[in-house]
Structure formats: structure tokens, C-alpha cells
Amino acid sequence: MKYMLIMRANDEGYAAYDELDFTEIIAAMGAYNESLMKAGVLLAGEGLTDAAEGFVVDFDSTPPVVTDGPYAEAKELFNGFWIIQVSSKEEAAEWAKRCPLGPGTRLEVRRVTELEDFPQDNEWIQKEAGWREELEGKAAGTNS
Amino acid sequence: MTETPSKVGADDANAPPERAGRDDAAERARRTIAAVWRIESARIVATLTRFVGDVGQAEDLAQEALVEALKQWPDEGVPRNPGAWLTAVAKRRAIDGWRRRERLDERYAAMARDLEQQGGEASDTFWDPDTIDDDILRLIFVSCHPVLSREAQIALTLRIVGGLSSDEIARAFLVPTATIQQRIVRAKKTLAAAKVPFEVPEPNEYAERLGSVLSVLYLIFNEGYLPASGEQWVRPDVSAEALRLARVVAGLMPKEPEAQSLVALMEFTASRFAARTARDGTPIPLDEQDRSRWDRAQIARGSAALARADRIGRGRASYGLQAAIAECHAVAPTADETDWARIALLYEALGRLAPSPVVELNRAVAVAMSTGPASALRIVDELAVGGRLAGYAPLPAVRGELLARLGRTDEARAELELAARLTGNERERAALLAKAAALKSSVE
């Protein structure tokens, strides 16, 4: 089973982050990522740039409203993720607990859906699989 | 994740609160310990083997520490560094054992002093970063040592490198738990009796020993993918564990193209799991699979692993060639649009590396798809004359197919019927007979 570790930080987390030595953070995260890789469980992971470079598309109204970041109203910002493949929920929790984060940050851990989680005879599920195939088939085609 | 029994108990309406809370907390602690064990066991056993010199004894000590954890952690919570805690407890057990046997000479006395200085709470830098990776590599080589039977290598690898319990291994291989326990006990005795050193093999035997490690992992993977017995056609958990271990090995041997290639081959193969069986469990052949159900992210990981192998610059050996063939299928939008000419070349290279009539038959199929049935039939006829595939159903099945495409209907029918008689699989027999019958009706 696959789990996504979703990293979020609030103002306190960002403030603490600014106090820290950047090279130390990089080293600690590098060591954590390496431990995931060495254990053979890491499938993917990315960190996100500052929210000021992002924007929000809000669907409360029609058409949706686009607002540039940073977002004053957000209590916590999503700033990175990992996807790991493990044998149990508890194993995902053990890996999450080892992440070198401090006060004001947290990991939300969610199981990634697999094809088996959906009713296979739903026409939209089948169509979506088709689209994905087409898009990624093109991507794969340009690489090979 | 420190457990809070009272809170858990309060949520349970059906049982007396306190009792249920305790059982629930104990169960959760047990599951947490199992997860910790899975993550840490290879490092624990590797570190202990360096300490006591014998893998079997190290594993016994680690298991004793695990039992201790099961007693203590449900009440006291999981320690901050559980792997270090388990290792420290196991080392203390080892020293107690030496004391009892009055073997506390200077060497052991020094170890005991070191351990006591570290105190109960071990530090984060408990593993010696300079040796732990090498120790895990040694552990892998010892688990797959040639003094052990293949079955013993597989059981020991899953147990001490993978951190699986005997129960889990037994479930994976559809045999009784006692059988696995016996295999592991015997394997430990064999290693001790042969005085197998805790070392990475010497250069002169390295390639062969690496081959053995990779074979063991591939056999475990295939156990999940192509179960010889059992009702479930695909057991992805077994294959997922083999893939995880292959990634561990590839990470420890970044300069070994075959280790990277094995990861690639497993990723490509596993990417098809969801498409490989119909809902009723019937296996679906590659060319009829719904390719939209192939896992594209997994295919991308396979390609990345194969690219890593190629970047090492030592060419492709057996797993590299097999992975390259699997990649051709994985990136093809349809069976017809597959690069069959390339697959034919890859099979040719594979056959030169390790001549095999089965590889040659596969090459014939690729040649038929790329060049046409006539040149493929020449390969198949040579195989048939050679006689090494006598009684092997796929040979007449392929030959029948080729003859049919060439319009030699009577011969084709005879070959398909022969294949139907030879196959052990009922569904395949029905399909072959249907093809033969269809040929007959087209003539009449």
C-alpha cells in the first residue's frame, strides 16, 4: 500500500524555519530522504517553493476566482510531500515520525488510492484511465 | 505514537472499558512494534552479527529483544529510537550469555563497558554510519550463501533482511508456519557449521554470489507474480517485498548494473499487476491486457532504474536485457505498435549470453511480429529438430500459429491439437482447440 506524507506548516513553523540554519535543514532532510531510499520504500517526493510564487483557484463562485499567494487566511500551508510504499498503516506512521520537523509543522498521512479502490465498471473511471494512458503514453513516447 | 489506553477504552461501547482499552492498546502496540521491526530488523541483526560474529545467534538475540519490546512497550510506550533500544537489549542479552558461560575475556569485557557507557537511552547516531551499509550487504550475502538450499536462502532473506515473521513467510509461500521455522533453524545451523564468515565475497567469487542474491530476490518476486500453486493468481504483497529488497540491494551496490536492472525488470512487470487477471481470476495474456490499467508511474520508475544501469556503462547482462524487453512492452500503446524488431534483437542478445531454447522461441515470436511468419518458422523448425523442447506446449502452439498464418492449414491444425494435448492448463487447452476448430471451418 502507498501513503502520502503531506507536510504543512503554520506561522510558528515558518518563523522557526527562518531561525534555523538552512544548510542544517537541507542536511537533515537529505538524511531522511536517504533513509527512505535505502529502505526501498520511497516512490516519489517533492518540496514546494514559497507560497508567494503560487496562487489559489477558488470554486466558491462561478467562474472560479484566481487569487495570487501568499494567502493571509490560510492557517497552514502545504509545502511538500513524499509517497512511500509500505506494508501497513503503522509502518507509514513510523516513517512519518522520523521526519526531521519541528513545532508548527505537521505531516498529514493519507493512503493513496489504487485502481482497486474504485468501481471498475464506472464509465468515467474507465475514461479517466484512458486519458491518463494517452497523456502519459505521449510523454513516454518522447522519452524513448 | 505513545498509546493512551483510557482514551481508546472510552471509545469502545461493547466491552468493559478498561479491559477493552488495554487489549486495544496492546494490539496497537503490537502492530507498531511489527512496523518498527520491519524498518529496523536488518540493521539490528547486521549490527548484532558484527558484535557476536554469527548471523544465527544475532537473529536469536534480536528475536529475544523483540519479545522484550512486546512486554514493555504497550505499557511504557515506544522508545524514541526503537531500533537502538532493541539492539541495546539484544547486546545486553549477549553479554549476559557470555557471563553465564564464563567467556567474559578482555574483548567481551570491553564491549560490555562500551554498552554500559551508552546507557539505556541510545543516541540517534547509534548505527555506525561507516559500517552499517556494509554490514547489511554482508547480511544479504550471508543469507544467500551457497551452502544453503534455495528454499533456505529465500526464507532467511525474507526473515533477516526483510524483517518478515515466519507466519508472514509461510503465508507468502503457502506452506505451514512450522515448515518455515524449521527451514530457518536449519539454515542458521548450516551457516554456523560451515563457519560462513560475515563478509562480502572475494572478487573472484563476487559475480557468482551476486547472481545468487539477485536470483533469490527474483524468485521471491515471481512467487507473488506466478504462483506455482494456490488459488490467487497474483499476490502483490510478496512481489512488493521482493521489489523493496531489490531497491535496498541496488542502493547498496550503485555500481552493479544487474542490481539496478533487476529493479527495472520488477517495476515493469509489477506495473501490469492490475491488468493481469480478469475479475474472475482468469489470467489475461499480455497482448489482450487493458493497457490503461498499467501503472504508468511504476513504468517511469522502471525506465529510471534501467537508465541508471546503463549509465554505469558496463553494458547489459541478463536482467538488463530482460528489463529492456519488458520496457518495450511497457511503453507500447498497443500490442501491434510494439517495437518487435527491437525485442527480437534483445532476445538474440539474451540467447547469446545464455543460450536457451525458451529464449529462442520467444525470439521467434518477436521475429514473426516484426518480419513475418516465414522467417520465424525457420527458427521454430530448428528448435523442433533440436528436440530440446520436446513436450513443451508453447512450441507446437507457436508453430501452429505460424503455419496458420502461412496458410498451411492442415499442419497448423495438427500442431495446435498437439499443443492442446501437452498443456496442463484447462483454459489454454480450450483456447488452442477453438483455434484448431476455427481453421477447419475456414477450409470447408
pLDDT, tens digit, 9 for 90 and up, residues B200-257: 999 999 999 999 999 999 999 988 776 544 445 456 688 999 999 999 999 999 999 9
**Interchain pair B303, A43: CB under 8 A:** no
Among A11-15, B4-8, B200-204, the range with the most confident prediction by mean pLDDT is B200-204
The answer, for A133 touching chain B at a CB cutoff of 8 Å, is yes
Residue B2 has pLDDT above 50, yes or no: no
User: Distance (Å, rounded) from C-alpha B230 to C-alpha B300?
Assistant: 31
Q: What band does B78 get if pLDDT is binned at 50, 70 and 90? A: confident
Rounded percentage of chain B residues whose pLDDT exceeds 90: 63
Rg (CA), chain B: 27
- Give chain B positions within 8 Å (CB) of A144: 303, 327, 331
Higher pLDDT, B260 or A102: B260
* CA nearest neighbour of B394 among B422, B359, B433: B422
Residue of A nearest to B291 (CA): A133
Among B97-106, B134-143, B192-201, B278-287, name the one with the lowest average pLDDT: B97-106
Task: With beta carbons less than 8 A apart as the criterion, state whether B319 and B312 touch.
Answer: no
Chain B contact probe: residue of A83, A94, A136 with most B CBs at under 10 A? A94
**Residue in B313, B376, B306 with CA at minimum distance from that of residue B341:** B376
Cell of B159: 526473515
In a 3-state reduction of DSSP, which class is residue B403? Answer: helix
Chain centroid, CA B339 distance in Å? 28
Our CA-based measurement puts residue B301 at a distance from the nearest CA of chain A, in whole angstroms, of 8
Chain A nearest-CA distance from B61, in A, is 22
pLDDT at A127: 62
Cis? peptide before A63, omega within 30° of 0: yes
A120 interaction partners in chain B (CB closer than 8 Å): 279
Give the pLDDT band of residue B35 (cuts 50, 70, 90): very high
Residues near B44 by beta carbon (within 8 Å), at least 6 away in sequence = B62, B65, B83, B86, B87, B90
Highest mean pLDDT, choosing among B40-44, B263-267, B291-295, B389-393: B263-267
Is the minimum CB–CB distance between B358 and chain A shorter than 8 Å? no
Query: Which residue in B38, B245, B327 is closest to A91 by CB distance?
Result: B38
Residue type, B334: T
* Position A2 pLDDT exceeds 70: yes
For residues B377 and A141, the model is more confident at B377
The answer to whether residues B26 and B141 touch, using CB atoms and an 8 Å cutoff, is: no
A140–B331: do the CB atoms touch at under 8 Å?
yes
Q: What is residue A138's predicted lDDT score, i.e. its pLDDT?
A: 52
Contact B94, B48 (CB under 8 A): yes
Mean pLDDT of chain A: 83
B293: nearest CB among A39, A93, A129: A129
DSSP element (H, E) containing B418 = helix B409-422
Q: Which residues of A61-72 are buried (b: 16+ CB within 10 A; e: fewer)?
A: eeeeeeeeeeee
Residue B101's pLDDT is what?
A: 72
Whether A142 and chain B come into contact, CB under 8 Å, resolves to: no
B332: pLDDT confidence band, cut at 50, 70 and 90?
very high
Query: d(Cα B207, Cα B282) in Å, to the nearest integer?
Result: 39
Q: Do B31 and A43 touch (CB under 8 A)?
A: no
Q: Exposure of B284 by Cβ count < 10 A (0-12 exposed, 13-18 middle, 19+ buried)?
A: middle
Task: Check if the beta carbon of residue B92 is closer than 8 Å to that of residue B116.
Answer: no
In percent, the amount of chain B with pLDDT more than 70 equals 85
Using the Cβ of B291 and the Cβ atoms of chain A, whether some distance falls under 8 Å is answered with yes
pLDDT band, very low/low/confident/very high, at A77 (cuts 50, 70, 90): confident
Q: Is A40 on the interface with B (CB under 8 A)?
A: yes
Reduced to 3 states (helix: H, G, I; strand: E, B; else coil), residue B162 is coil
What is the pLDDT averaged over residues B278-298?
83
Which among A85, A93, A120 has the least Cβ separation from residue B240?
A85
Q: Give strand ranges (E) for A1-144.
A: 2-9, 42-47, 55-58, 65-68, 77-85, 105-111
Chain A contact set for B34 (CB, 8 A) = 88, 90
Mean pLDDT of A96-112: 94
For residue B276, give the C-alpha cell: 493481469
- With a cut of 70, say whether residue B16 has pLDDT above it: no
Whether residue A9 contacts residue A105, with contact meaning beta carbons closer than 8 Å, is answered with yes
Cα-Cα-Cα-Cα dihedral sign, residues A72, A76, A82, A88: negative
The predicted pLDDT at position B441 comes to 59
Among residues A80, A49, A55, A59, which one has the least CA distance to residue A69?
Answer: A55
pLDDT at A142: 40
Contact of A3 with chain B, judged by CB distance below 8 Å, is answered with no
Q: What is the ipTM score, two decimals?
A: 0.78
User: What does each C-alpha distance from A30 to A92, B211, B407 come to in angstroms?
Assistant: 19, 31, 63
Residue of B nearest to A84 (CA): B244
pLDDT at A82 over 60: yes
Structure confidence at residue A94 (pLDDT): 94
Distance (Å, rounded) from C-alpha A106 to C-alpha B72?
28
Q: Are B301 and B267 in contact (CB under 8 A)?
A: yes
Question: Quick one: which of B294, B298, B283 has its CA closest to B240?
Answer: B298
pLDDT-based confidence at residue B175 (cuts at 50, 70, 90) = confident
